[in-house]
Structure 1
């Protein structure tokens, strides 16, 4: 379904509440003899909350107060429930992480009143926050979901096992931690260690030449005003790394990689066999600092460009 950003709606709600607007009426309330209309009702912000931050925090903390978690009919109306979830996620990105974590956990506790609803919430949050193709992907927000499932006594073993594995991926090469080292092999046969690269910034590009998405990202990078800027690239080394086993595929597509980049492959398949990186989707980009600490994990190329332009442009 199409996702709409919540910013304008949230600000409008905040402004109306701060002006002492009339109490919101629920136009979808049941009437005698009429079929109930499913709708999502936002919380009413107390007039005494004056600052935008306080009003935002109230909405996030009370977002699901009027939602009927036991009514499984909501599972089948994505225009209501899934859209509400997408808007909720957008709001969660605008509050402190500790608050977001507690709100997610509390929401799942409320959803657990009905097992089917809890399953729906977990799956929907996973779809938006952990699917590699989701524009709203956010591992930090998904982590409390995994922790809740692993600790939830009524969760089946399959769900708990998947949540434990997702947590493993989340904890792998986290932002702020040192990226896992690996050996790359060059076309000449020479081998080098990634950690031995001496440069203020290292951009890792895990790719597959046969991957359509990889071709698109490569084309973007090769024409990027940031990643082709001579002054910026004096401080950045790009390591394009092929982690899969079909060496001939890599060898036959070496011309895809610009000569100024490092182009290597994993001769021993160490990265995949030891699961050193989360590579469930290609391409995958990591930006590292001079100490090989992760600055950006599995980031869109546009985010990499924005970061480098901000810190390196004069």
Structure 2
């Protein structure tokens, strides 16, 4: 069975979906039954990485159109069906991580990856050593989730005072930027942010506050780098809360979080492109 035939079988459900009134109901039905035509014991297909990846991408494209409960149940059903073949199960886990968790993936979304992680850490197919990595990923994904209050931390200001995240005045939105002045990519992103006209307009109108926190270890280097940051930004030096206490996990640098005025997470680990789109909404 080719991938085209498999996708065609999935599309045939459209005829069944007519009685379902809303697009969300139809998407939920299709998501639930997406893998019905695949027998995971048929290793010719379930172990075929190209076949599985093509269909997973189509499967993931349905996620934004359904409620979280339907998405969680669909992932649970998929992973439990895949347990009949350990190789196929590992392939699914790897591809889900590649597309939903890897920073820079166009489909990256930790909320979508969390149900996969919850199934993986509970499976009997993997030993405890192997599952320890997925437990770490799950722990990281559950930190500072969108919709939750951002974890507070203490930082040092350029004038030597100690401040906390929750004392930062932000009327509408707060862009939290974690960076290392010794990081080339950090400097590139800072330049891009400081020259983005839409961000500048938001800052000038008071709709956006930027807090740039240095998480590098060299305080002298941080002091020297302050001249390269826009004067309208608030800046600080991590006093150990962020990295040492792992209040925020920073797999890549720089890392940005978009918060609302109450310090609730709007976007976690947001890319520059995602940030600019969100700011212009």
**TM-score, length basis structure 1:** 0.79
1:103 aligns with 2:74: yes
Range that drifts further, 296-305 or 173-182: 296-305
> Corresponding residue for 1:141?
112
* Alignment of 1:41 onto 2:6: yes
**Aligned residue in 1 for 2:196:** 224
Which residue is 1:19 aligned to? Answer: none
- RMSD of the alignment, in Å? 2.3
Pairwise CA distance, 1:73: 4.1
Which residue in 2 is equivalent to 1:189? 160
Q: Distance in 2 between matches of 1:46 and 1:230?
A: 44
Over 3 Å counting, the alpha-carbon distance change for 1:233 and 1:300 in structure 2 is: farther
Bigger Cα displacement from structure 2, 139-148 vs 178-187: 178-187
What SS does the corresponding residue of 1:80 show, helix, strand or coil?
helix
Which among 239, 249, 255 is matched to residue 211 of structure 2?
Answer: 239
1:227/1:233 contact within 8 Å kept: no
Select which of 143, 154, 162 maps to 2:125: 154
CA contact (8 A) 1:60 1:88 kept: yes
Report the counterpart of residue 254 of structure 2 in structure 1.
283
C-alpha deviations, 1:68-98, integer Å up to 9, x for none?
Answer: 3224444664432212112211122221111
Instruction: Name which of structure 1's ranges 219-228 and 208-217 shifts more when overlaid on structure 2.
Output: 208-217
2:187 match:
215
Evaluate the alpha carbon distance shift between residue 67 and residue 257 of structure 1 in structure 2; reply closer, same or farther with a 3 A threshold.
Answer: same
Residues in 1 aligned to 2:241 and 2:149: alpha-carbon distance in whole angstroms:
18
Q: Structure 1, residues 86-134: CA drift from partner, whole Å, max 9, x if none?
A: 2211122221111111111111111111011101101110111111232
Stretch of structure 1 that moved more, 227-236 or 160-169: 227-236
Q: Distance in 2 between matches of 1:246 and 1:98?
A: 45
> How far apart, CA to CA, are the structure 1 residues paired with 2:84 and 2:131?
18
Residue 223 of structure 2 aligns to a residue whose secondary structure is helix
Unaligned runs of 5+ in 1: 1-27, 29-36
Contact 1:45–1:55 at 8 Å: present in 2 too? no
Contact map agreement 1:206 1:242 (CA 8 A) in 2: yes
Cα 1:40/1:279, change in 2 over 3 Å: farther
Query: What's the offset of the Cα at 1:189?
Result: 2.3
Residues 137-181 of structure 1: CA deviation (Å, up to 9, x unaligned)? 111111111111222233211232222222211221122222111
Contact 2:83 2:89 in 1 (8 A): yes
How far is 1:297 from its partner? 1.3
- Count residues in correspondence: 274
The structure 1 residue matched to 2:243, chosen from 247, 272, 285, is 272
Deviation at 1:38, TM superposition (A): 7.1
**2:211 partner SS:** strand
**Partner residue of 2:33 out of 62, 70, 82:** 62
Equivalent positions of 1:65-144 (< 5 A) are 65-74=36-45, 77-144=48-115
Give the alignment partner of residue 235 of structure 2, picking from 239, 263, 283.
Answer: 263
CA distance in structure 2 between the aligned counterparts of 1:203 and 1:108, rounded to whole angstroms = 36
Give the drift of 1:185.
1.5
Would you say 1:169 and 2:134 are equivalent positions? no
Q: TM-score, normalised by structure 2?
A: 0.88
